[in-house]
Structure 1
Amino acid sequence: MDRYLLSEMLLPFLGGVGAFTTLVMAVSSLFELVRLVVEAGLSISVALQVFLLRAPGIIVLTFPMAMLLATLLAYGRLSADSEITALRACGVSLYRLVVPAVLLSLLVTALTFLFNELVVPVSNRQAALTLNRALNRYPDFRRENILYQEFGEILTPEPDGSFSRRQGLTRQFYARSFDGQEMRGVIVLDVSNEALSQILLAQRGRWDPRENLWVFEEGTTYIVSPDGTYSNIATFSRQELRLSRAPLDLAQEVRSPEEMNIPELRRYIEVLASSGDLQRVRRLQVNLSQKYAIPFACLAFTLIGAPLGLRPQRTSSSLGLGLSVLIIFAYYVLLFVSQALGQIGTLGPEVAAWLPNFVCLGIGGALLYRANR
């Protein structure tokens, strides 16, 4: 019975992947590339290459949609041919009938997660690079006004000669320009010790990956006393400082969340968090949580599609496709709303990412319970 039910779902699943992929790619990618070919002079060969590189990211989005369509059509066909009635007459419960669909959805969930981690970020990144090079756009790194703020522990002198500690802004890094290798017009303000602040101005600065430190050239260091006077001024032709490489990461990382896997996105969030850009951190935390939550939409859609297909009435393929589109539309509307609420801080990142799944699971569980009565 399990093999039979799985075979009934396999063909609609593959057909759903093909149908939904064609639809989504036409809407989200094809129209844009055609416009670029006509208006920006993008060559057809490059447009085709970008179109194919974007395909994995779109295909993986259709897996949950295809699971919904597969369960609707498979169980709908079995119900219309009275095979569900025959199985129930043999003592098979509706809960047991849904088990193969749930197992298949978990397999597709794992496949979706692996695809999102191993294939989609690389293909999306390559598509963006290919398109930018063809259009003479190079947004691979931030070229001007790199500003990084570092927060940590500040030492405050006490009257008895001791130091108290508090949290706050400890260091500010600014570079006027960046060419991908070297920063120019660098200013480093260190206020981690209120008794003695330090200002470093350098014409050039670069990161040495072998020594894990910054190398500044042609600059001046100012030591500022608490009363605002300069207690020491020293010029240098080369100076090495063990500062965080986060300013370099901040300048180099301009990729979207779709171009990063979970470890890369988590590391970038840490860089932004230490810089104090909390609003952007909140948005990326929602994206990070969605990388875990969206694959489980396969299970949520399965638990909705199976009881709807089990209804004792005849359904056509066109009706199943139309019902799938309505459910998918409602899901993504809820996803966008919860994502927006998470980004503005109304909901936590995890709640915002998982809320659509929880709603679908609740509806699916209620439908299955009602169908089994």
Structure 2
Amino acid sequence: MATLPNLKTRNKIRSAKVAGVLPLEWLPRISVMDRYLSSQMLAPFLFGVGAFSSVILAIGSLFELVRLITDSGLSVFTALQIFALRLPGFMVYSFPMSVLLATLISYSRLSADGETTALRSCGVSVYRLVVPAIILSFMVTGMTFVFNEVIVPSANWQAKSTLKSALNQENIQFKNRDIFYQQYGDIVQEDGTTTQGLVRSFYARRFDGKEMQGLTVLDFSQGQLQQILSAESAVWLPQQSVWQFRNGATYLIGEDGDYHSILRFEEQNLRIPRAPLDLAQEQRSAEEMNITELSRYIELIRQTGNAKEVKKLEVSLQQKYAFPFICVVFALVGSPLGMRPQRTTTSVGFGVSVLIIFGYYVMLFVFGALGQVEILSPLAAAWTPNAIGLGTGIVLLTRVN
């Protein structure tokens, strides 16, 4: 039966209510066991972030930058700048690995010292013991997602731009020649029904960032070629949401395929989607875009009818959602593995973590490839490795219990 607060406590509560603030004593508290287990995982987690980030950086960036300094004359200052810009992208990969290492090492030490046995003898179940690890993994999942969305895409893009500029390579942020765009939509048939098909084909020979040159537009809106527009240049007018074509001609095509008339013009506005301009300006890879930007780019590519590229990008989009939750999977796998009777040192734990991580990334690559060749859906391709890892963790946890 719950006891009432004493007079001193009641006076504190009354004073807090008057001030509009509740005392800290009445807030939910973390148990001593949870604080202890969390503190045991913190040091291995920080060690893992540093160790795994160093290894990945050395393999993925450091050797390349050293080679560029010696062979291509890249300045040390620029190399350090690029190194710093690439760091967030590599740290994101180290977060799940560090969760695995932290749970494996900390629970192994608790098991080897008999602390796990003592806690279980007090009535604490194995499932309750892994709660702090699960909470930690969800916190790291959120941190990974924020890094992937806010920091990594822009940092990767800036690193690539800085490197190209330092090496005097072409560093334009748009496609400067041969811009193709095919617009698909509803086409009215002779019987009045509509069907999906090619509505318009757009081609520009060159693009300087503002103006397109050497344009040809084919109109198929009525199910067959209706007209051909040819112009020297064209610009997008955002206020009117139209294209302004300059110094060109419109060729009207009859049903028999012959030219019926030619209409020449100095300026002519045509309401065509802005998509060709977006397609020319968007040159970032999936790693250099966040979820919103990648989703918009997928819609743009889908309009061109490039189904293979759309499928590849959709797999990358789903992987952006699925990747942060690897932290939860690794926490469920590392915790029961650490509760085994034999003691796991930091070096052995690091090695075991590397093997598990290698196996997981092999699965990630294989299932991603299956999604790109349309054997699996993008959703299944991205989330199946997580599901397999989650099932493995639950099985291990059940066996330990």
- TM-score of the pair, normalised by structure 2: 0.90
Q: Which residue of 1 aligns with 2:45?
A: 13
Deviation at 1:194, TM superposition (A): 3.6
1:338 maps to 2:370? no
Correspondences of 1:356-371 after superposition (within 5 Å) = 356-371=385-400
Q: Distance in 2 between matches of 1:211 and 1:259?
A: 31
The 1:314–1:194 alpha-carbon spacing in structure 2 relative to 1, beyond 3 Å, is: closer
1:262 maps to 2:294? no
Q: Which residue of 1 aligns with 2:244?
A: 215
1:148 maps to 2:167? no
1:316 maps to 2:345? yes
Correspondences of 1:202-281 after superposition (within 5 Å) = 202-281=231-310
Q: Distance in 2 between matches of 1:127 and 1:165?
A: 48
Q: Distance in 2 between matches of 1:269 and 1:360?
A: 29
Deviation at 1:139, TM superposition (A): 4.5
Q: Distance in 1 between matches of 2:223 and 2:303?
A: 20
The 1:195–1:107 alpha-carbon spacing in structure 2 relative to 1, beyond 3 Å, is: closer
* 1:155 partner letter: V
The 1:348–1:139 alpha-carbon spacing in structure 2 relative to 1, beyond 3 Å, is: farther
* 2:306 partner letter: D
Q: Deviations over 1:103-160 (max 9, x none)?
A: 11011101111111011111111111111111222252111111111111112334xx
> Given the alignment, which residue of 334, 347, 350 partners 1:305?
334
Q: Distance in 1 between matches of 2:83 and 2:362?
A: 26
Structure 1 unmatched runs, 5+: none
Deviation at 1:209, TM superposition (A): 1.9
1:157 and 1:195 in contact (8 A); partners too: no
The 1:196–1:177 alpha-carbon spacing in structure 2 relative to 1, beyond 3 Å, is: closer
The 1:196–1:297 alpha-carbon spacing in structure 2 relative to 1, beyond 3 Å, is: closer
Alignment RMSD (CA, Å): 1.1
The 1:84–1:190 alpha-carbon spacing in structure 2 relative to 1, beyond 3 Å, is: same
1:195 and 1:225 in contact (8 A); partners too: no
Q: Which residue of 1 aligns with 2:198?
A: 169
Q: Deviations over 1:152-184 (max 9, x none)?
A: 1112334xxxx3321111100000111111111
Q: Deviations over 1:209-233 (max 9, x none)?
A: 2222111111101111111122231
Q: Distance in 1 between matches of 2:265 and 2:118?
A: 88
Bigger Cα displacement from structure 2, 127-136 vs 171-180: 127-136
The 1:326–1:218 alpha-carbon spacing in structure 2 relative to 1, beyond 3 Å, is: same
Structure 2 unmatched runs, 5+: 1-32
- Paired residues in the alignment total 368
Runs of 4+ with >4 A deviation: none
* 1:356 partner letter: P
Q: Distance in 2 between matches of 1:285 and 1:139?
A: 26
Deviation at 1:195, TM superposition (A): 6.9
Q: Distance in 2 between matches of 1:76 and 1:341?
A: 37
> Given the alignment, which residue of 284, 298, 308 partners 2:313?
284
> Given the alignment, which residue of 57, 68, 84 partners 2:100?
68
Q: Distance in 2 between matches of 1:26 and 1:265?
A: 29
* 1:210 partner letter: Q
The 1:89–1:192 alpha-carbon spacing in structure 2 relative to 1, beyond 3 Å, is: same
Q: Distance in 2 between matches of 1:276 and 1:32?
A: 37
Q: Distance in 1 between matches of 2:70 and 2:372?
A: 36
Q: Distance in 1 between matches of 2:88 and 2:49?
A: 11
Q: Which residue of 2 aligns with 1:4?
A: 36
1:194 and 1:226 in contact (8 A); partners too: no
The 1:98–1:195 alpha-carbon spacing in structure 2 relative to 1, beyond 3 Å, is: closer
> What percent identity do the matched residue pairs reach?
57
1:67 and 1:298 in contact (8 A); partners too: yes
Q: Distance in 2 between matches of 1:344 and 1:170?
A: 27
Q: Which residue of 2 aligns with 1:184?
A: 213
Q: Which residue of 2 aligns with 1:78?
A: 110
Q: Which has the larger radius of gyration?
A: 2
